[in-house]
């Protein structure tokens, strides 16, 4: 018993010291062209401590507990009860925590809110010697204290809940064996344990101290063979996201084709699904049909409505339909206790297989917006008429109106998305088989939640503003997790944009744009971010694409107008043009004010070269939502909107004392490759060079117009509607 007590005390010191902090290591793969690569596994080695962990796909995150180093043997057994810091923290509704006890006995866990009110408490008796994991779920946001009590001794940690779960619960998840350490060698080297242990996925109980020398190696499959990534070797100070780079190249993503590196996926029941690439997203090509969650817990076959029980239903009430049409799920089953999200990506696994997630309404909107920009997917030239392109080419009731899903069904499914008319389980029970393809999102809350549908009688995708009752049963399509660097589909930060054809003002090879030129023969670099292809240099043309001249403005009130198109030199100096581009009043940027647009895409060429357009507010919102959803771009993981530095250029900014602002640490800027350079603005006189990167959008009117801004002292982008006569920079988006 004494030897076992020493083992527990050493583990407590190494893994759960009073100064312990959670360290999260997140991994994603990239091929030679910077496309997302699914990692088969990642090997993490601590050279200082002498241990190794292997993450198997879909695991891409390893959580460590960082504590103080070994200082004094006599201090090791000051506590026989120790809570480790929960991970993640802060968390969205659900988090995990480890409790180590030196000897068996009765332990009480209780959670108190910020006012000291106990919101949940459980007693565990007896709790065996060892390290145990518990899952905490909280129904309200706030700061909480978790306390373990045993024989008059206590251990407490503070937890921060940023997103609500659907209940207050403490669930026992299992015992994690403490690895054996040889006490006689603890002051020098600690050997790797050869004793098998029960490893809770994504959490390591191995010792770690900030500054330990670590190595990281990934493995992925290319053309049927497995390859090793470049090794990353460094002292590890804290949480970090890593892109593991491979020398091999995956085939470029192609619309309507299986997703590169993930042509199929398999759920826990052994059901196999095809995948389909659309824009930047990788989707399941069939409706989900699992009857178990990814952790093995079973769902219940439903015969009634429920907002709390996790039910699935057979389409049209017939179990033989499952193989073709998938299953219907109520909202409780879809979410599996996770909080609602409208992020892109949602990060809500819910009922989806490991490595995949339930799409948010924003992710569905990204899909429909993308499909609406491709002429091969729209009917009769109307960008909203895309339902046929997403619907299966058989099985629908007959439609009547032109472009309806049920009309000439053989022409459906241009995207290969293969939406099936499953109907649903609604207030009247099983209904609408052959009429509607219904899909849940993970967005919305309360008694109603967001969903969308394809209908046999319409040409558009339906998204009811009020949502549907959470007791209803609809189909589910899952979207692939892209890891922290996946960028919603595998091409988040390419140096150039994939193309199927090259416009007259673009030069390229190998399926990518390598240069973009305007009427004045100025060349611009481009960058792919999500499904959008952006210029990564500020526009500097003095002519519209048809050759019409734009006048030079001057430092006078005459130049501040909404009726004449003017350009200005940044800071009033023509030498700045090559670096900072030009500044344009909104009339010059949009050219025809009456064409102002809030659509996505805007459809407004304005001052942009042929084949490119002035982005609308909605397109800038898509850009922001995408980048905020990728943790690799967040300067501070607690604040997902702190992404200004990810857009800002690496030079030219005035210095700032504000952490995460563009002027704080310029060498760490520009993770997205957008390269926003602080050209300043012109409002009666030139100002702000080095301080502001301000860009016009296509939304507005003759008095005020939408602008998107990065400021030297702000860690997040700022949007506003500013005076239309002012002059800002312009970035264009490819049609």
DSSP per residue over 560-601, as a string? --SSS-EEE-GGG-GGGHHHH--EEEHHHHHSSGGG---SSS
Question: How far is CA 209 from its chain centroid?
Answer: 29
Percent of the chain's residues with pLDDT above 70: 85
pLDDT of residue 638 exceeding 50: yes
**Rounded Cα–Cα distance for residues 184 and 200 (Å):** 28
> Which CATH number applies to 2-243?
2.60.40.2550
How far is CA 452 from each of CA 337, 364, 370, 396, rounded to the nearest angstrom? 21, 9, 16, 17
**Rounded Cα–Cα distance for residues 179 and 51 (Å):** 11
Name the band, by pLDDT with cuts 50, 70 and 90, for residue 190.
very low
Let me know how many helices (H) and strands (E) the chain has, helices first: 9, 48
Residues near 558 by Cβ (< 8 Å), separated by ≥ 6?
none
Q: Give me the residue label for tokens 């917006």.
A: 369
Name the band, by pLDDT with cuts 50, 70 and 90, for residue 199.
very low
pLDDT of residue 702 exceeding 70: yes
For position 512, what pLDDT does the model report? 58
Q: Which tokens in the block code for residue 25?
A: 């290591």
Q: Reduce the DSSP state of residue 294 to 3 states and report it.
A: coil
How far is CA 172 from each of CA 15, 97, 149, 380, rounded to the nearest angstrom? 20, 10, 16, 57
Task: Tell me the whole-structure pTM to 2 decimals.
Answer: 0.50
For position 186, what pLDDT does the model report? 35
**Rounded Cα–Cα distance for residues 266 and 591 (Å):** 52
- Decide: 462 and 445 in contact? Cβ < 8 Å: no
* φ, ψ for residue 133, nearest 5 deg: -110, 140
For position 503, what pLDDT does the model report? 62
Name the band, by pLDDT with cuts 50, 70 and 90, for residue 191.
very low
pLDDT of residue 511 exceeding 80: no
For position 21, what pLDDT does the model report? 65
Name the band, by pLDDT with cuts 50, 70 and 90, for residue 498.
low
pLDDT of residue 519 exceeding 60: yes
pLDDT of residue 557 exceeding 70: no
Strand-strand pairing, 264-266 and 240-245: unpaired
Rounded average pLDDT over 277-295: 93
For position 195, what pLDDT does the model report? 27
User: Which of 45-59, 76-90, 306-320: highest mean pLDDT?
Assistant: 306-320
Question: How far is CA 38 from its chain centroid?
Answer: 15
More confident residue, 135 or 192: 135
DSSP 377-402: G-BTTBTT--HHHHB-SSSPPP--ST
**Rounded Cα–Cα distance for residues 333 and 302 (Å):** 11
Q: Reduce the DSSP state of residue 419 to 3 states and report it.
A: strand
pLDDT of residue 114 exceeding 80: no
8-state DSSP, 672: T
Q: Give me the residue label for tokens 């979207």.
A: 479
* φ, ψ for residue 11, nearest 5 deg: -60, -40
For position 229, what pLDDT does the model report? 95
Lowest mean pLDDT among 58-72, 379-393, 685-699: 58-72
For position 214, what pLDDT does the model report? 94
Rounded average pLDDT over 698-721: 90
Q: Which tokens in the block code for residue 14?
A: 């190494």
For position 67, what pLDDT does the model report? 64
**Rounded Cα–Cα distance for residues 227 and 425 (Å):** 46
Q: Give me the residue label for tokens 């009922």.
A: 351
Lowest mean pLDDT among 191-200, 419-428, 594-603: 191-200
- Mark 519-529 as b/e (b = at least 16 C-beta within 10 Å): beebebbbbbb
Name the band, by pLDDT with cuts 50, 70 and 90, for residue 355.
confident
Name the band, by pLDDT with cuts 50, 70 and 90, for residue 723.
confident
Residue 170's nearest CA partner among 113, 121, 216 is 121
pLDDT of residue 14 exceeding 80: no
Q: Which tokens in the block code for residue 96?
A: 């995990």
pLDDT of residue 3 exceeding 70: no
pLDDT of residue 79 exceeding 60: no
Other CB atoms within 10 Å distance of the CB of residue 434: 16
**Rounded Cα–Cα distance for residues 121 and 145 (Å):** 12
Average pLDDT of the chain to the nearest whole number: 83
For position 189, what pLDDT does the model report? 36
Q: Delimit the CATH 2.60.40.2550 region(s) of the chain.
A: 2-243
For position 173, what pLDDT does the model report? 81
Strand-strand pairing, 311-313 and 300-301: parallel
Residue 534's nearest CA partner among 543, 542, 545, 525 is 525
38-67, pLDDT tens digit by residue? Answer: 888 999 999 998 888 888 876 778 888 776
pLDDT of residue 276 exceeding 70: yes
Rounded average pLDDT over 7-19: 39
Name the band, by pLDDT with cuts 50, 70 and 90, for residue 6.
very low
Percent of the chain's residues with pLDDT above 90: 46
pLDDT of residue 540 exceeding 90: yes
**Rounded Cα–Cα distance for residues 434 and 406 (Å):** 10
Rounded average pLDDT over 626-648: 85
Strand-strand pairing, 21-30 and 240-245: parallel
Strand-strand pairing, 94-101 and 225-228: unpaired
Rounded average pLDDT over 418-446: 95
More confident residue, 487 or 80: 80
């Amino acid at each position: 018993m004494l030897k076992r007590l020493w083992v527990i005390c050493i583990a407590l010191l190494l893994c759960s010291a009073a100064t312990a902090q959670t360290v999260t290591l997140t991994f994603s793969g990239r091929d030679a062209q910077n496309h997302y690569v699914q990692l088969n596994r990642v090997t993490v080695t601590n050279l200082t401590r002498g241990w190794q962990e292997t993450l198997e796909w879909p695991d891409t995150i390893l959580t460590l507990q960082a504590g103080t180093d070994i200082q004094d043997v006599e201090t090791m057994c000051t506590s026989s009860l120790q809570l480790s810091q929960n991970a993640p923290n802060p968390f969205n509704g659900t988090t995990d925590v480890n409790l180590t006890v030196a000897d068996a006995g009765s332990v009480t866990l209780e959670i108190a809110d910020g006012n000291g009110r106990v919101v949940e408490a459980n007693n565990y008796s007896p709790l065996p010697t060892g390290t145990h994991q518990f899952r905490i779920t909280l129904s309200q946001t706030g700061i909480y204290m978790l306390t373990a009590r045993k024989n008059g001794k206590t251990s407490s940690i503070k937890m921060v809940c940023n997103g609500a779960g659907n209940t207050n619960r403490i669930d026992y998840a299992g015992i994690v064996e403490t690895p054996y350490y040889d006490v006689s060698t603890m002051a020098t080297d600690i050997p790797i344990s050869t004793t098998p242990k029960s490893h809770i996925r994504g959490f390591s109980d191995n010792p770690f101290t900030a500054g330990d020398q670590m190595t990281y190696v990934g493995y992925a499959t290319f053309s049927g063979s497995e390859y090793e990534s470049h090794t990353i070797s460094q002292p590890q100070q804290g949480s970090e996201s890593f892109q593991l780079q491979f020398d091999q190249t995956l085939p470029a993503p192609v619309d309507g084709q299986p997703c590169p590196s993930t042509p199929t996926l398999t759920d826990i029941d052994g059901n196999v699904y095809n995948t389909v690439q659309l824009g930047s997203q990788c989707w399941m090509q069939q409706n989900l049909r699992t009857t178990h969650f990814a952790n093995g817990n079973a769902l219940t076959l439903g015969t009634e409505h429920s907002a709390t029980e996790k039910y699935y239903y057979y389409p049209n009430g017939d179990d033989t339909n499952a193989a073709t049409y998938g299953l219907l799920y109520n909202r409780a089953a879809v979410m599996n206790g996770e909080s609602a999200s409208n992020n892109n990506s949602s990060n809500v696994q819910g009922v989806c297989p490991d490595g995949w997630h339930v799409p948010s309404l924003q992710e569905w909107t990204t899909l429909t917006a993308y499909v609406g920009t491709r002429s091969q997917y729209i009917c009769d030239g109307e960008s909203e008429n895309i339902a046929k392109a997403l619907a299966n080419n058989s099985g629908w009731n007959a439609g009547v109106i032109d472009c309806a899903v049920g009309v000439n069904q053989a022409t459906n499914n241009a995207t290969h998305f293969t939406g099936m008319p499953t109907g649903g389980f609604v207030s009247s029970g099983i209904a609408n088989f052959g009429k509607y393809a219904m899909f849940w999102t993970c967005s919305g809350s309360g008694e109603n939640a967001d969903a969308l549908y394809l209908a046999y009688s319409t040409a558009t995708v339906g998204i009811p503003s009020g949502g549907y009752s959470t007791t209803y049963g609809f189909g589910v399509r899952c979207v692939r997790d892209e890891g922290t660097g996946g960028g919603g589909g595998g091409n988040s930060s390419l140096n150039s944009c994939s193309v199927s054809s090259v416009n007259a003002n673009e030069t390229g090879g190998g399926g990518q744009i390598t240069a973009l030129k305007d009427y004045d023969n100025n060349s611009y670099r481009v960058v792919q971010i999500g499904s959008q292809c952006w210029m990564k240099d500020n526009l500097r043309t003095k002519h519209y694409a048809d050759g019409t001249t734009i006048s030079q403005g001057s430092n006078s009130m005459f130049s501040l107008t909404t009726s004449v198109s003017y350009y200005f030199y940044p800071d009033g100096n023509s030498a700045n043009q090559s670096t900072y581009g030009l500044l344009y009043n909104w009339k010059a940027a949009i050219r025809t004010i009456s064409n102002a647009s809030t659509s996505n895409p805007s459809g407004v060429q304005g001052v942009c070269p042929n084949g490119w357009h002035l982005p609308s507010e909605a397109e800038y919102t898509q850009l922001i939502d995408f980048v905020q959803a990728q943790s690799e771009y967040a300067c501070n993981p607690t604040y997902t909107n702190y992404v200004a530095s990810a857009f800002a250029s690496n030079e030219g900014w005035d210095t700032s004392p504000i952490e995460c602002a563009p002027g704080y640490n310029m060498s760490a800027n520009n993770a997205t490759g957008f390269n926003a350079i602080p050209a300043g603005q012109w409002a009666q006189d030139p100002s702000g060079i080095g301080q502001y990167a301000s860009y016009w959008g296509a939304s507005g009117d003759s008095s005020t117009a939408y602008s998107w801004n990065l400021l030297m002292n702000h860690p997040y982008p700022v949007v506003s509607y500013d005076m239309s006569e002012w002059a800002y920079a312009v970035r264009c988006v490819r049609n």
